Amino acid sequence: MGVNGIYGLSGSGLDVESLVKMGMKGKQNQYDKMYKREMTNEYKKTALNELYNKVNTYNLSELTNYKKQSDMAAKSASSSDEKAVTVNANGAAAVMSHTVTVQSLASNAYFVSNAPITRSYVPDPSNPTPPDKSKSIELADIAFKRIEAAGTSPGGSKLYHVYYADGTDATVDESDTAISLKLKDKNAAAADEVYSIEYTFKDLVDNKKTLNDLASSIQNASVASNGPSRQVAQKANFNASYDAATGSFSIYNKKGGADNVIGIETLDKGSTQLMNNLHLAKFDQSTNSLSNLSGFVQGTEQKFGGTAGQVTVDGRVYVVDENRLVAGGVTYNFLNKTQAGDSVTVSVSQNVDAVVDKVKKFVESYNKTLDELQKEYNTQHDKDYDPLTKEQEKSMSEDQIKRWNEKAKGGLLYHNTQLGRLINKMREAVSTPVSAVDSKYNSASTLGITTQVGNNYGHLTLNEDKLKKALAEDPDAVYRVFGSMDDNDDFKKSGISMRLSKVSLDSLKEIRAEAGTKSDWDDSSALGNLIRQQKKKMKDFKSLLDDFQDQLYKKYDAMEESLQRMNSMYASLFGGK
User: Quick one: 225 and 315 in the same domain?
Assistant: no
The CB-based long-range contact list for 476-480 (8 Å cut-off, 24+ gap) reads 476/73, 477/437, 477/439, 477/441, 477/446, 477/447, 478/72, 478/73, 478/355, 478/358, 478/359, 478/447, 479/69, 479/72, 479/73, 479/91, 480/434, 480/436, 480/437, 480/439, 480/442
The identity of residue 475, as a single letter, is P
Last residue of a domain, one of 488, 504, 529: 529
User: Quick one: 143 and 261 in the same domain?
Assistant: yes
CA dihedral 370, 371, 374, 375 (to 10 degrees): -150
Q: How confident is the model at residue 146 (pLDDT cuts 50, 70, 90)?
A: very high
Last residue of a domain, one of 509, 529, 549: 529
Per-residue pLDDT averaged across 459-475, rounded? 92
Q: Confirm whether 549 is domain-assigned.
A: no
User: Quick one: 413 and 464 in the same domain?
Assistant: yes
Confidence check: pLDDT of 561 > 80: no
Confidence check: pLDDT of 377 > 90: yes
Candidate from 142-146, 322-326, 349-353 with smallest mean pLDDT? 349-353
Q: Given this model, what pLDDT does residue 9 score?
A: 45
Question: Domains in the chain: how many in total?
Answer: 3
SS (H, E, C) 125-159: CCCCCCCCCCCCCEHHHHHCCEEEEEEECCCCCEE
Per-residue pLDDT averaged across 220-242, rounded? 87
User: Quick one: 238 and 117 in the same domain?
Assistant: yes
Per-residue pLDDT averaged across 155-170, rounded? 96
User: Quick one: 340 and 474 in the same domain?
Assistant: no
Q: Confirm whether 536 is domain-assigned.
A: no
User: Quick one: 142 and 157 in the same domain?
Assistant: yes
Q: Compare 23 and 136 and report the one with higher pLDDT.
A: 136
User: Quick one: 255 and 324 in the same domain?
Assistant: no
User: Quick one: 287 and 341 in the same domain?
Assistant: no
User: Quick one: 218 and 299 in the same domain?
Assistant: yes
Reported as a single tens digit per residue, the pLDDT across 10-37 is: 445 556 566 656 655 667 777 778 888 8
Reported as a single tens digit per residue, the pLDDT across 512-549 is: 999 998 877 778 899 988 888 888 887 877 777 676 67
User: Quick one: 343 and 416 in the same domain?
Assistant: no
Q: Confirm whether 553 is domain-assigned.
A: no
The domain containing residue 233 runs over which residues?
111-305
Distance in angstroms (rounded) separating the CA atoms of residues 473 and 33: 66
Q: Confirm whether 557 is domain-assigned.
A: no
User: Quick one: 123 and 185 in the same domain?
Assistant: yes
Confidence check: pLDDT of 454 > 50: yes
Q: Confirm whether 514 is domain-assigned.
A: yes
What is the total residue count of the chain? 577
Mean pLDDT of the chain: 89
State whether residue 420 is helix, strand or coil. helix
Last residue of a domain, one of 305, 325, 341: 305
Q: Confirm whether 551 is domain-assigned.
A: no
Candidate from 71-75, 339-343, 428-432, 506-510 with smallest mean pLDDT? 71-75
User: Quick one: 277 and 313 in the same domain?
Assistant: no
Q: Given this model, what pLDDT does residue 3 score?
A: 42
Q: Confirm whether 552 is domain-assigned.
A: no
Per-residue pLDDT averaged across 51-67, rounded? 91
Q: Confirm whether 15 is domain-assigned.
A: no
The identity of residue 473, as a single letter, is E
Instruction: Tell whether pTM > 0.85.
Output: no
